[in-house]
Chain A
Amino acid sequence: MLSKKAHTEMTDTELIAQYKVTGESNWLGILYTRYSSMVYGVCLKYLKDRDDAKDGVMQLYEKLSETLKTHDVQHFKSWLYVTARNQCLMQLRSKKGKFTEEISSFVVETAPEMHLEDGAELETNLGKLEQCIEKLNPEQKVCVRLFYLEEKCYKDIAQITGYDLNQVKSFIQNGKRNLKICMEENG
């Protein structure tokens, strides 16, 4: 099936363009299926109920088919994330009966992931990076080293260090943040 290869390789923007031109929801289906597991995960995180989350995914799909017709969405993925989260929060609030209006009537489009430069910077600042790693607290240091230098996954790191998975995750997240701060301060 050659057409299959075509659409799996199309960018989100191309798919949206196709949808706008043709009005054919298949394009939207292709696009949305790419993110359905992520949207479902986000819905689960907030709604904590499988059926509610499934409904959330489908609701968002319907909303999508309307919004994309009229709005120019530049960074689909970021937009989808913000929209999905807002929808979940709205639902939570309406359930609690506190507010029924939207949290925000407009959706802020965050910049696309802007870390393309990260790599280049890291590469030129290796010496500094090493120094900064040394400044981390011991737990963060161990986990950051295992994760970034030895490329271990969380599960392996948890086994090696004896920390539980969530600890490993937060050590790496915080370690990464501290590293970034350290690199910026000394830059």
Chain B
Amino acid sequence: MDKYKNDIENYLAGKLTPAEMHALEKRALDDTFLADALEGAALIDATDFSKDIAELNQRIAKQKSSTWLWPMRIAAAVALVAVSMIAVWLFLKQDQKQTLALQPEISNELPKTQPKIETPPPTETKQSAPAPDTTSPAPQPKKEIHSTPRVKRSKQPAPLVAETKTAEQLPELSETLADNNLTKDNVSEPATSIAREETSKVTSNDPEKKQEIRLPSANEIKIAEGYIAAVDARPTIVTGRVLSAEDGTPLPDVSVALKGTGVITKTDAHGRYSITANSREKTLVYSSEGLESTEVKIDGIDSTYLPVKIEMTDAAQEEAAVETSGMRDFGPTNVYTIPAHPETGNRAFKQYLEKSYKYPKEARDLKIEGTVMIEFKVDATGALSEFRIVRGIGNGCDEEVIRLILQGAKWIPTTKDGTPVNDKARVKFKFELEE
């Protein structure tokens, strides 16, 4: 419940990873409270903000309520027993990172609960049971859980996590899944199968829990499983930069793939990338179409920054007005893929585009500038079809790029292990008016 508590501070202080920042920003889009808070917090210095929060939390902790009556104290004692039940249950969880300014005080005031926590005697359960108003409905089912033998420690956290967090995680996760389906078809595939295994283990262990994990719709089930898998697999995030070995310039649009999986990403305009590896001892494959790929092993590292230099014989990447790129469509298994590319090579193709393009008159008159991205099919024979404007600026510019592609060099189809296959490719072209 407290897991988001320090997010704003950490966000402002730049302590979050890009992925964590993204997650917070995504939450803020759905949560006006958070959005407002971020907006307000950004008005002052990050260190001031942290200082103020620390001060406020201390003041909050110091403020004692004046209404501390005897009957209430008794009720509280009973309630504490109930709380200690939850404590025992939660003892099985291991992910506590945040600390609360309040915490030392509270634990001092509740020393009675400490001895009970280690071994919950059954009498305690009875005590709290007949006091219906002191036990909130939530702890009820939890009692059953911890009364079952605690032998399978390693198994327990999985259902707990699923139960307590699924609801909150749903929007984010499902979107992530959706995203994956869009761009990288294969990613969700292995994750789901791991998850299934995990779920079946869980259900066989603990019949009561099964009820809580079971979710009504197919979509939701998939999501819940995905989450368990994520917890279990402990994904490693590798971030890094790809630079040209020649001159050290950042290389954009280089594919970075996790070997043997469908996981693939591309470097951004600054050569940066970030990829999630679901298991250790994997190899990253860096490739850019038409070039030799470079492989780098990542061995048992947690979160790492991995700068790589690649020999780019065909580079000419800096400030490219024209870029071509094969579509990422790597198979789920260990397949060596060479994306579709123009016969003449990327550099020549780029030069051809720059030399041959005609700025459409209409666009020139209207002073239209911008980048056009065209996607098209390159079938196994190298024939081009199904042109689609991914990003268009209209006024004849989009058509002009398509014309250039059609009249340009022949394309070599994508090959997987040497066999040509149907694939898609994209060509990006930037229209810029002189002056």
User: Measuring CB to CB, which residues of chain A are less than 8 angstroms from any residue of chain B?
Assistant: 1-14, 17-18, 21-26, 28-30, 32-34, 36-46, 48, 50, 53-54, 57-58, 61-62, 65, 77-78, 80-81, 85, 113, 115-116, 118-120, 122-124, 126, 129-130, 134, 138, 141-142, 147-156, 159-160, 169, 172-173, 176
Residue contact B9 to A123, C-beta cutoff 8 Å: no
Interface digits, B80-123 against A, CB 8 Å rule (1 contact, 0 not)? 00011011101101001010111101110110011001000000
Residue contact B41 to A44, C-beta cutoff 8 Å: yes
Residues of B within 8 A of A147 (CB): 22, 25-26
B406 within 8 A of A: no
Q: Nearest 10 CB-CB pairs, A to B?
A: A119-B174, A41-B37, A45-B40, A25-B65, A153-B21, A44-B40, A6-B87, A22-B76, A81-B33, A41-B41
User: How many B residues touch A, CB cutoff 8 Å?
Assistant: 104
Knowing A3-B106, A6-B90, say if A148 contacts B175 (CB, 8 Å). yes
Residue contact B268 to A156, C-beta cutoff 8 Å: yes
Residue contact A149 to B179, C-beta cutoff 8 Å: yes
Residue contact B39 to A41, C-beta cutoff 8 Å: yes
Residue contact A124 to B21, C-beta cutoff 8 Å: no
Pull 15 A–B residue pairs with CB atoms less than 8 Å apart, ordered by A: A9-B1, A10-B86, A21-B75, A28-B65, A36-B57, A41-B8, A44-B44, A65-B65, A77-B33, A116-B171, A119-B219, A120-B217, A123-B181, A147-B25, A160-B270
Query: Measured between C-beta atoms, what is the minimum distance from A32 to chain B in Å?
Result: 6
Residues of B within 8 A of A7 (CB): 83, 106
Knowing A3-B110, A6-B87, A45-B43, say if A30 contacts B59 (CB, 8 Å). no
Residue of A5, A22, A26 touching B96 (CB-CB under 8 A): A5
Stretch at the interface among B133-141, B151-159, B228-236, B313-321: B133-141
Residue contact A124 to B219, C-beta cutoff 8 Å: yes
Residue contact A149 to B182, C-beta cutoff 8 Å: yes
| Residue of chain B at shortest CB distance from A110 | B32
Residue of B1, B48, B107, B270 touching A50 (CB-CB under 8 A): B48
Query: Measured between C-beta atoms, what is the minimum distance from A93 to chain B in Å?
Result: 18
- Chain B contact surface mostly: helix
Complex: A49 Cα to B158 Cα, angstroms: 45
B409 within 8 A of A: no
Knowing A33-B102, A41-B37, A41-B40, say if A23 contacts B87 (CB, 8 Å). no
Residues of B within 8 A of A173 (CB): 29
Complex: A183 Cα to B75 Cα, angstroms: 52
Knowing A2-B87, A37-B41, A156-B18, say if A29 contacts B102 (CB, 8 Å). yes
B167 within 8 A of A: yes
- Chain A contact surface mostly: helix
Residue contact B5 to A4, C-beta cutoff 8 Å: no
Residue of A4, A9, A172 touching B106 (CB-CB under 8 A): A4
Residues of B within 8 A of A150 (CB): 183, 265
Query: Measured between C-beta atoms, what is the minimum distance from B410 to chain A in Å?
Result: 29
Residue of A22, A34, A48, A62 touching B75 (CB-CB under 8 A): A22
Residues of B within 8 A of A155 (CB): 18, 21
Knowing A4-B106, A54-B52, say if A9 contacts B93 (CB, 8 Å). yes
Query: Measured between C-beta atoms, what is the minimum distance from B54 to chain A in Å?
Result: 10
Residue of B53, B67, B88, B269 touching A37 (CB-CB under 8 A): B53
B408 within 8 A of A: no
Complex: A135 Cα to B358 Cα, angstroms: 26
Knowing A25-B63, A37-B9, say if A3 contacts B87 (CB, 8 Å). yes
Complex: A58 Cα to B56 Cα, angstroms: 8
Residue contact B1 to A8, C-beta cutoff 8 Å: yes
Query: Measured between C-beta atoms, what is the minimum distance from A24 to chain B in Å?
Result: 6
**Residue from A4, A28, A53 having most chain B Cβ neighbours under 10 A:** A4
Complex: A150 Cα to B182 Cα, angstroms: 11
Knowing A26-B109, A119-B170, say if A130 contacts B100 (CB, 8 Å). no
B296 within 8 A of A: no
Residues of B within 8 A of A77 (CB): 33
Query: Measured between C-beta atoms, what is the minimum distance from B204 to chain A in Å?
Result: 25
Given contacts A18-B79, A40-B41, 20 further A-B contacts (CB under 8 A): A5-B96, A6-B87, A7-B106, A9-B93, A22-B75, A25-B65, A36-B53, A37-B6, A38-B33, A40-B56, A44-B41, A44-B44, A46-B40, A57-B56, A65-B65, A120-B219, A123-B181, A141-B391, A151-B179, A153-B22
Residue contact B270 to A159, C-beta cutoff 8 Å: yes
Complex: A9 Cα to B92 Cα, angstroms: 12
Residue of A21, A48, A116, A151 touching B134 (CB-CB under 8 A): A21
B30 within 8 A of A: yes
B365 within 8 A of A: no
Query: Measured between C-beta atoms, what is the minimum distance from A108 to chain B in Å?
Result: 14
